[in-house]
Amino acid sequence: MSVSPVKVLVVDDQPLIVEELCEFLESSGYRCVPCQSTAQALTHFADDPAIGLVVCDLHMPERDGIELVRALKACAGQLRAFEAIMLTGRADKQDVIKALREGFADYYQKPVELEELLEGLQRQELVLQERQKSLNHLGHLNEKLQHLAASIDDLYQDLDKARNQAAVTTATEDGGGALEVIPALFEKLSPRQLAVARLVGKGQTNYQIGCELGITENTVKLYVSQVLRLTHMHNRTQLALALSPSNSALRQRVTAH
């Protein structure tokens, strides 16, 4: 007789019932984890991922079987599956409906016909295997999505680095056809901040810069303030001198600080 890889959590506040069920199920090829309280059941379930089938009494002192299964579901999370079968001494219709809605796969009235319970467990084991396959597939998809997200994040970081580098090394032709390279002091700036800084260097007013870039004058003031703070300059005159193509010597002294 082969032994199932799935363990059965057997929960009942009556020790004799737990003992009888475990003895029968173990003789039928299942490994059982006996519990006489819901607290004990939760501890065993959390500690043993091999537990995939649960047989529990509905009416117990601490919390009923429905509350137990609700707690087990919270413990299991999204990537662990289990199937639960309810045992009840009182087959109240509303209790049964509530239990099935909560997630019980089946129920049996006490005294339990053991062979019927075994057949029910075997059916639920097959259901569990299919659910585990789906969850494993979902786990692989989730892992691929995480790798993809990390790759996209890396691409965005590389793109930002490339944009900043391009902004720092952007050459603009001056009147004599020479190339002006943006000083390394400005490599901290974003492309928009650098665009504002370069227009300040050309002597444009905030209003003129706003018109050219399609932003408000107040937004230009905000960008100028950010540029001054990031470049450690005191005013826009220093900024203009640092970027002015006709003041290279002075620019070197300004940017050297």
pLDDT 10s digits, 158-203: 666 665 565 555 444 444 444 445 667 777 788 888 888 888 888 8
- What are the structure tokens assigned to 105, written together? 């796969």
CA quadruple 123, 126, 131, 132: dihedral sign: positive
48-57, 131-140, 164-173, 210-219: lowest mean pLDDT where? 164-173
pLDDT 10s digits, 231-246: 888 888 888 787 765 5
pLDDT 10s digits, 69-127: 999 999 998 889 999 999 988 767 888 888 888 889 999 998 899 999 999 999 999 99
String of b and e for 5-32 (b: at least 16 CB within 10 Å)? ebbbbbbbeeeebbebbbebbeebebbb
Is pTM beyond 0.75 here?
no
> For the chain, what are the domain ranges?
7-129, 170-255
Which amino acid, one-letter code, is at 89?
Answer: G
Distance CA 65, CA 104 (A): 9
The answer to whether residue 229 scores a pLDDT higher than 50 is yes
The answer to whether residue 153 scores a pLDDT higher than 80 is no
Which superfamily, per CATH, for 7-129?
Answer: Response regulator (3.40.50.2300)
The per-residue pLDDT for 70 is: 93
User: Which CATH number is correct for 170-255, 1.10.10.10, 3.40.980.10, 2.60.40.1220, 3.40.50.1220?
Assistant: 1.10.10.10
Q: What are the start-end ranges of the H helices in the chain? A: 15-27, 38-47, 65-76, 93-102, 114-169, 191-201, 206-213, 217-231, 236-243, 248-255
7-129 against 170-255: fold identical: no
18-27, 90-99, 118-127, 136-145: lowest mean pLDDT where? 136-145
